Amino acid sequence: MNASASGMSPRGSISIREVTKIYDPDGAKVLAVDNCSMEIEAGEFCVLVGPSGCGKTTLLNAIAGFHGITTGEIWLDGELLCSGARTPSPGADRIVVFQNGALFPWFTVLENVTFGPVVQGGMSKAEAHDRARTMLGQMGLMGIENNYPSEISSGMRRRVEIARAMMNDPRVLLLDEPFRAMDALTKTVVHQFLLDVYDKSRKTVFFITHDLEEAIFLGSKVYIMTTRPARIKKVLDVDIPRPRDFRALSSATYLRLKQECIEAVHEEALKAFKAGEREMA
């Protein structure tokens, strides 16, 4: 919103260059990501879909700085984040919203949302609280500041977690299947929420999901991954205009893209299934 929108420099472009990740290189040698390259523009809503276990989380964790990669390079705005030789470190410019949620249960909503600014020491506690209240208000999340995460609904928790990320004005939002296992109704609410946040901030979003409809509804580009080891199989440009709402779900473009997506994913799923059978045999 502030620095990013004032146009000092485009923030949040990610360049993934020929990244390979092998888990346990001395032992089992699990090739999770194989020579994968992606160019994500600043402000792009990028969605990754792919079969289970294909290496999506592995890629996201490398961008987040939770673990290194075996070869290749990942760049953020022209800075080298990590390479085969360089172990990355996490930072508040790339915030992750986790698969099962990671709001700290022992902090209230307000304490969670202000956690970043408070530990980074850039803001006084009072200032952080003020900003957090304003932000929660703008996001339609008022009245729950003093509740613990266990006291609010799962949809609410997800939104608070996104708010916590946005408090740090990150360059990239990394979301790893954040809405998995939510009921359809809650999903529509959190989808709209994320779309609003995106429209207002135009942060780069790196979003992982299994749900093709979600992928097309939210994303600007959908990257379909191959079965493990992960590589890009196909990229779809989603040219549905923004701001989007549920009406987009019945547009012709949406239905065409969905069809395309299903075909590509089906092929991979079948391959994964056969590979599984082969391993069993």
Partner 1 sequence: MATATATIQGVNWIRLRKKVLSRTTCRGIVSLVGFVVLWEICVRLNVPIIGNVPAPSSVLDALGKQLVSPAYWLSWRDSMIRILTGFVAAQIVGIPIGLMLGVNRMARDTIYPIFEIMRPIPPLAWVPASVIFWPTPELSMIFVTFLGAFFTVVLNIVGGAKSIDIRYIRAAHSLGSTRRDIFWRIMLPATMPSIVVGMTVGMGVTWAVVVAAEMIASQSGLGYLTWRSYVAGEYPVIIIGMLSIGVAGYLSSAGIRVLAGRLTPWLKVR
Ligand X SMILES: Nc1ncnc2c1ncn2[C@@H]1O[C@H](COP(=O)(O)OP(=O)(O)OP(=O)(O)O)[C@@H](O)[C@H]1O
Pick from 92, 135, 139, 269 the residue near partner 1 by CB under 8 A: 92
Pick from 119, 184, 185, 252 the residue near partner 1 by CB under 8 A: 119
Instruction: Name 222's bridge partners.
Output: 47, 236
**143 or 276: CB nearest ligand X:** 276
CA dist list (Å): 185 to 72, 113, 155: 41, 25, 10
Indicate whether 135 belongs to the interface with partner 1 (CB under 8 A).
no
**112 or 220: CB nearest partner 1:** 112
Indicate whether 162 belongs to the interface with partner 1 (CB under 8 A).
no
Indicate whether 56 belongs to the interface with ligand X (CB under 6 A).
yes
- 239 HSE (CA, 13 A, CB side): 4
Q: List the one residue out of 163, 170, 155 whose CA is nearest residue 114.
A: 163
Q: Which stretch binds partner 1 (CB under 8 A): 4-12, 103-111, 231-239, 242-250?
A: 103-111
Pick from 94, 129, 158, 159 the residue near partner 1 by CB under 8 A: 94
CA dihedral 201, 203, 206, 211 (to 10 degrees): 20
Indicate whether 120 belongs to the interface with partner 1 (CB under 8 A).
yes
Q: List the one residue out of 19, 8, 70 whose CA is nearest residue 42.
A: 8
Pick from 16, 19, 40, 54 the residue near ligand X by CB under 6 A: 54
Q: Are 136 and 168 in contact (CB under 8 A)?
A: no
Q: Quick one: which H or E segment has residue 223?
A: strand 221-225
| Residues between 171 and 210 that touch partner 1 (CB under 8 A) | none
**30 or 249: CB nearest ligand X:** 30
Tokens of 152: 């609010």
> Quick one: what does residue 24 bind among partner 1, Mg ion, ligand X, none, with the CB cut-off 5 to 8 Å set by partner type?
ligand X
Pick from 7, 24, 29, 150 the residue near partner 1 by CB under 8 A: 150
> Quick one: what does residue 105 bind among Mg ion, ligand X, partner 1, none, with the CB cut-off 5 to 8 Å set by partner type?
partner 1
Indicate whether 30 belongs to the interface with ligand X (CB under 6 A).
yes
Tokens of 38: 């992606």
What DSSP string describes 20-89?
EEEESTTTT-EEEEEEEEEEE-TT-EEEEE--TTSSHHHHHHHHHTSS--SEEEEEETTEEEEESS----
Give the footprint of partner 1 on this chain (CB under 8 A): 64-66, 89-92, 94-96, 98, 100, 102, 104-107, 115-116, 119-120, 143-144, 147-152, 164, 168
